[in-house]
Amino acid sequence: MSPSLSSHAEDRLLSGIANLDGRLKRLEEQGQATAVILLKLEHLGEEIADVKAGVDKINSRVGKAEGSITQHETRVTVLETFCQEQVKPALNVITDNRIALATMIAKYGAGGLGIGGGLGMIAFVVGKGAGWW
């Protein structure tokens, strides 16, 4: 990405050059060639310093943006790893528990579970979640 001047800065630069050109022509007409050359060099030095400062600011912003991109990529990688290693297995356990619960209800019927069956089912679900079965 090559830094470039904004249109406002470019307009200011062109306006300044046009002004300088007019002044230089007047000075040349008066025969002050040495003063004209020194004025050109001084003005160019100032413009180069302004452009360099603008480029330095742009490079600084690009550096900060690159650092932010790296930080965000790292966060995305951490979140992706968390989802793969923690969330996905937890969802699989929940799905297995729902299937086991649905199987028990289908096998024994919702009314046939009663209090004892309900306690047994709770123990089964808790045990399944803890990895006992």
DSSP H stretches of helix in the chain: 7-29, 33-82, 88-108, 114-130
- pLDDT for 111: 56
Dist CA 68 CA 52 (whole Å): 24
Domain ranges of the chain: 7-130
pLDDT reading at 2 higher than 50: no
Looking at the chain, the whole-number percentage of residues with pLDDT higher than 70 is 71
Average pLDDT of the segment spanning 29-57: 76
pLDDT reading at 103 higher than 80: no
- pLDDT for 1: 43
pLDDT reading at 90 higher than 70: yes
Model confidence pTM above 0.75 = no
Region of poorest pLDDT, from 15-24, 64-73, 97-106, 112-121 = 112-121
* 80 SS3 class: helix
Is 129 within 8 Å of 90 (Cβ atoms)?
Answer: no
